[in-house]
Amino acid sequence: MIGTIADDFTGGADVAVAFRSEGLRTLLFFGVPPSSAELLEHDAIVIALKSRMAPASEAVAQSLEALEWLRRHGSDQIYVKYCSTFDSTPAGNIGPVLDAVADAMSVDVVPMTPSSPEHHRTQYQGYLFVGSLLLAESHMRDQPVNPMRESSLPRLLRAQTDRDVGVVELGSVRHGDLESILQHCTARYLFLDAVDSEDLRVLGKALRERALVAGAAGLARGIAAAKPGTLSLSKNPRLAGRAAVLSGSCSARTLEQVAAMIRTGRPAYRIDPVTHTDPEVLAAAALTWYDGLPDGAAPLIYSSMGPVDLQRTQEVLGVQEASGILEATCALVARGLVSRGVRRLVVTGGETSGAVVSALGISGGTIGELADAGVPWIHPVEMPDLALLLKSGNFGAVELLVEATR
C-alpha cells in the first residue's frame, strides 16, 4: 500500500487524483488522522499537511508524525510529494523533510523527479522546465512567496541538504538498466529525467517496490500505473447547489482566472488587509456584501493581488503578518459561506486551502470528478452535501473558476 506525505492540501489532492486515475482506491486526509480513524478499503492513503511554508523544524515534525501513522497502518511504500515547480526556499522544506524521512526509514538512495508533463513541468539533464522555459526564466522567477531563480535541481536541493545529489539523464532512463543504476548509486538523492508520460511509466515500473520515492504527481501516477488497481472509474456526479470562489493565491495563473471571472460580470469582492488588520472585521464586511447578492449568484471573494499591490501590502504589514491576516480572514469567510448555504466552494492557493479546510473541520474526503488536470472535486467525510475544489495557484485553464461555478 502506498502512503503519501504531501506538503500542502492542493498538492495532496493532486497526488490523490494521480493514484485514483490509475485505479487505486485512495483515501485523502487533511492532517494526520487519529489512530482510531475508521478506514475504508484502500490501495493508497494521502496525508496532506500544511508544511510547505512552516518553519523547517515544524515541517519535519509533521512529516515524521505522518510517516509513523502511515507505516503503522500498513504502508510498505512511502511517497513524499512536493510541488512540480520544486517550490521551496534555500532553507527548505524539501531537503530537511527528505533527510528526516530517509533517516527514519534507513534508506540510502531516494529516487525522485518533479516532472509532471500534464502540468507542463519536465526534467531534462537535471534542469526543471515549465513549458519550454527553464524554471528560473518562467513566471516562477517572480513567484511572490518563493521566487525560483535557479533551474538546476541538484543545485536547488544542495542548498537544503548536505547529502550527495545525483542525476540520471534521459538516455539512461529510456535505455539504461535503472535497477543497476539505483543499486550502485552513491548519492542519497537521485533526480531522474522525464519529459513525457511514457518516461514516468518506465520510472514507475522500476520504482514500484522502492521503500521511499519522492516527487510530484507525475511520478506518483507512473508508480500507480505499475500496481494493480481495483477501483471502478465511473464518474461521481458533481453536487449541485450554490457556488462561490474564495481566492487567496497570487500566482500568475490565478490572477488570470480571477480576471476571467470579473470579465464575465460575476459579482466580485476584494479583501484588502491594508484597510483593516482585524480578520473578523474583514470577514464580516465580505459576508455582509455576500448577503446583499441576488439568489443564484456565484461570486468571487478574493485577496489575490498582482506584484505591485502585493509588495505594497507586504511593505505596510510585513510578509508574515499579511499572510496571517489573509488566511484567517479567508477561513472565517469560508465558514460563513457554508453556513449560508454554499455547497460548491472553490478555493485557490495551498495556504488558503489549508486555512479553509481547518476552519471547516474537514479531516478528509473522497475524490470526485476532475474540474481540470490535478484539480478534483473533493467530497468531505464530515459534510457529504459539500463539494470542495482546492486549486493550486498555478493549475487550471484560464476559465476554470468560471466553469467550476456555473
- The candidate with the shortest Cα–Cα distance to 304, out of 234, 252, 380, 233, is 252
Between CA 234 and CA 20 the distance in angstroms is: 11
C-alpha cell belonging to residue 274:
491594508
Rounded to an integer, what distance in angstroms lies between the CA atom of residue 329 and that of residue 357?
A: 13
Report the pLDDT averaged over residues 33-47: 86
pLDDT of 44 higher than 80: yes
**pLDDT at res. 394:** 86
* Residue ranges of E strands in 162-299: 165-168, 189-192, 212-215, 242-247, 268-270
Q: What is the model's pLDDT at position 238?
A: 52
Average pLDDT over the chain, rounded to an integer: 93
Q: What pLDDT does 146 receive?
A: 83
Q: Look at residue 277 and tell me whether its pLDDT is greater than 80.
A: yes
Q: By the 8 A CB rule, do 329 and 287 touch?
A: no
Region 306-324: mean pLDDT is 93
Mean pLDDT, range 103-107, rounded to an integer: 98
Q: Looking at the predicted structure, is the pLDDT value of residue 48 above 80? A: yes
pLDDT at res. 83: 93
pLDDT in tens, 198-239: 999 999 999 999 999 999 999 999 999 999 777 665 555 556
Residue 145 has pLDDT above 80, yes or no: no
365 vs 79, residue with greater confidence: 79
Least confident piece of the model among 35-49, 339-353, 384-398: 35-49
Q: Give the residue with greater pLDDT, 36 vs 307.
A: 307
pLDDT digits (tens, 9 = 90+) for 23-37: 998 999 999 998 877
3-state secondary structure 104-133: HHCCCCEEEECCEHHHCEEEECCEEEECCE
Q: How far apart are CA 158 and CA 208, in angstroms?
A: 26
Quick check: helix, strand or coil at residue 385?
coil
Give the pLDDT of residue 275. Answer: 93
Strands 364-372, 375-380: parallel, antiparallel or unpaired by DSSP? antiparallel
- Higher-confidence residue of 331 and 392: namely 331
Burial letters 276-306, b for 16+ CB under 10 A, else e = eeebeebbbbbbeebeeeeeeebbbbbbbbe
Residues paired with 301 in a beta bridge: 246, 269
pLDDT score for 239 = 63
Q: Give the whole-angstrom CA distance, residue 285 versus residue 404.
A: 25
Q: What is the pTM of this model?
A: 0.81
Question: Cell numbers 500496481 correspond to what residue?
Answer: 227
